[in-house]
Amino acid sequence: MSKTAPDIASLMAALAAAEARASGLEADLQATRAALSQAQAVASAADEMIKHLRLQIARLRRDQYGHSAERHARLIEQLELQLEDLEADQGEDLARTDAASARSSVAGFERRRPARKPFPEHLPRERVVVEAPASCTCCGSGRIVKMGEDITETLEVVPRQWKVIQTVREKFTCRDCERISQPPAPFHPTPRGWAGPNFLAMVLFEKFGQHQPLHRQAERYAKEGVEVSLSTLADQVGACAAALEPIHDMIRAHVLAAERLHGDDTSVPLMAKGGTKTARLWTWVRDDRPFAGGAPPAALYYFSTDRRMEHPTRHVAGWTGVLQADAYGGYNDLYLAARKPAPVASALCWSHARRRFFELADIKEAARKKKKVAEVIAPLALETLRRIDEIFAQERALTGQSPSARHSVRQQVLRPIVEDLHDWMRRERAGMSRHNPVGKAMDYMIGEKGRWDAFTRFLDDGRICLTNNAAERALRGIALGRKAWLFAGSPRGGDRAAFMYSLIVTAKMNDVDPQAWLADVLARLPNMPISRLHELLPWNWRQPAQRIAA
């Protein structure tokens, strides 16, 4: 027994020492984890700052060299996606750092964030007051007086609310003649009137403005407790197109009354037997803002199942003026001297010409695949780009000036630069082989007879723009939407899409909310006399006061 007690005591002491060492190791491990989390957060913050600075540099370069720099546009999109992921990673690291810091004595990492902009003033505020203490938290005294308050604002959203509007028409009978009197039924935007104008505008804008197919909308409505079949939604879309036809006709007349138009087209997959075929969506844009014109901007769209020459010829039949477009041969019938009532003057796009040199002077194909080394492969193309960019830089300062002012500066400043470019390309082209890629890019501008005259027509007319970017901007949403709706279901569906794009894009060009405008137009159109229809055009429309208040 004398030996057992000391053994137990020594074992207990050893156990206590081991537990103390284990506790120390656990504390060290937690400290190490906290330090590691802090290091990860610091690294995330550094990466985020690097990407943010690169994004700013790319945006500044875009502002300096213009929106037509395709590589810069791709770089900006890639950097924005990377920055989004980095910010999410950093938020995760910070959350882990905070949790680790709470369990250890390691100081938490503090990330410097830019000051957050205040929430818009027009948003309603819901005040939630945290219950105040009844006594002093220090001494327990009840003699406490309010000296101020701290307010923390949190942005929240309330899911949209569905409702059914019951329109009641009371009946009255006459005691004398025994006839029944009742107010007439109100007009509705579409037949049978089961859908309100705001609902219809939402469906139209999400389908054609946000590129959300009807079946996706129907699935989302069903999850919100409102089941509307796909066929019912499609029926209302067709009915709305018929109801909005007078507005579309007025927009078309306005576009075709322009003295200068931008024209372009893009491919649209069309559902066909055995797969899809390539159809086309055409746009004709009136935008007089670059030369301080007073006419409001507008866009007109057409759909065709192919790209034959007859389509643009039919779209602008009877129209005369200056057409700004690329060198697509489908417009050639418009330029014929025998055309009635008169031939159209061609003004070609310098952005299309510049793009050919840009692709040669940019980087090797391997560098496009996210490799770091970028090597110029066509020095002559790079020199051509430098000369063209000088023209763009001078032209950029003329945006928004009157035609006479633009013409004067172009004659004095730009004409010598353009003529020098022409002479230089002639000399360089003479020393190249027939199949030289840079030479082919030069041939696009100076190769065919009359092509250079079309490129330089802007020098003699202050209304003409240097590029056809207005039409390309009008088609940008279509290119994005193809990824969502994949293809047009039928030629009539393509025509309907072109119809709605004309309305929505014209509203956007006039800084009008397309959904709010469509809702108000659908509500007022049934009772609007023909003589006042012009009040509903986007450039004449004013948002109702009750909607602004809401």
Torsion 15-18-22-28 (CA) sign? positive
Under 8 Å between Cβ of 438 and 381: yes
Under 8 Å between Cβ of 86 and 51: yes
Question: Is the pLDDT at 503 greater than 80, yes or no?
Answer: yes
Give the pLDDT score at 272.
74
Question: Is the pLDDT at 2 greater than 50, yes or no?
Answer: no
The DSSP-derived string for 112-139 is --PPPPPPPTTS-----PPPPPSS-TTT
- Asked if the structure places residue 70 within a domain, the reply is yes
- Asked if the structure places residue 48 within a domain, the reply is yes
Under 8 Å between Cβ of 171 and 160: no
- Report residue 482 as tokens: 């193809």
pLDDT band for 517, please (50, 70, 90 cuts): very high
Share of the chain above pLDDT 70, in %: 74
Q: Which of 323, 321, 326 is nearest to 342 (CA)?
A: 321
Give the pLDDT score at 58.
58
Q: Which of 238, 410, 259 is nearest to 342 (CA)?
A: 259
Give the pLDDT score at 550.
44
Sheet holding 322-325, edge to edge: 298-304, 275-286, 260-272, 322-325, 345-348
Question: Is the pLDDT at 361 greater than 80, yes or no?
Answer: no
Q: What is the mean pLDDT of residues 278-291?
A: 94
Lowest mean pLDDT, pick from 12-26, 229-243, 524-538: 12-26
- Asked if the structure places residue 33 within a domain, the reply is yes
Question: Is the pLDDT at 541 greater than 80, yes or no?
Answer: yes
Under 8 Å between Cβ of 298 and 255: yes
Question: Is the pLDDT at 223 greater than 60, yes or no?
Answer: yes
Question: Is the pLDDT at 294 greater than 80, yes or no?
Answer: yes
Question: Is the pLDDT at 549 greater than 60, yes or no?
Answer: no
How far apart, in whole angstroms, are the C-alpha atoms of residue 78 and residue 71?
11
Total of domains in the chain: 1
Give the pLDDT score at 152.
84
**Chain mean pLDDT for the chain:** 82
Question: Is the pLDDT at 75 greater than 50, yes or no?
Answer: yes
pLDDT band for 364, please (50, 70, 90 cuts): very low
**Model confidence over 53-69: pLDDT tens digits?**
555 655 555 555 554 44
pLDDT band for 367, please (50, 70, 90 cuts): very low
pLDDT band for 221, please (50, 70, 90 cuts): very high
- Asked if the structure places residue 59 within a domain, the reply is yes
Give the pLDDT score at 106.
43
Give the domain extent around 29. Answer: 10-102
- Asked if the structure places residue 15 within a domain, the reply is yes
Question: Is the pLDDT at 353 greater than 60, yes or no?
Answer: yes
Question: Is the pLDDT at 85 greater than 90, yes or no?
Answer: no
Number of helices (H) and strands (E) in the chain: give both, helices first.
18, 7
Q: What is the mean pLDDT of residues 377-385?
A: 84
Residue 194 or residue 416, greater confidence: 416
Q: What is the mean pLDDT of residues 22-42?
A: 66
Question: Is the pLDDT at 26 greater than 80, yes or no?
Answer: no
Give the pLDDT score at 131.
85
- Report residue 40 as tokens: 């990860």
Residue 51 or residue 385, greater confidence: 385
Q: Which of 368, 378, 481 is nearest to 439 (CA)?
A: 378
- Asked if the structure places residue 29 within a domain, the reply is yes
Give the pLDDT score at 117.
77
Question: Is the pLDDT at 105 greater than 60, yes or no?
Answer: no
Question: Is the pLDDT at 95 greater than 80, yes or no?
Answer: no
pLDDT band for 146, please (50, 70, 90 cuts): confident
- Asked if the structure places residue 341 within a domain, the reply is no
Give the pLDDT score at 487.
63
Question: Is the pLDDT at 135 greater than 80, yes or no?
Answer: yes
CA distances from 314 to 14, 167, 302, 481 (A): 98, 46, 10, 26
Q: What is the mean pLDDT of residues 142-154?
A: 85
The DSSP-derived string for 136-151 is -TTT--S---------
- Asked if the structure places residue 278 within a domain, the reply is no
> Which H or E element spans position 262?
strand 260-272
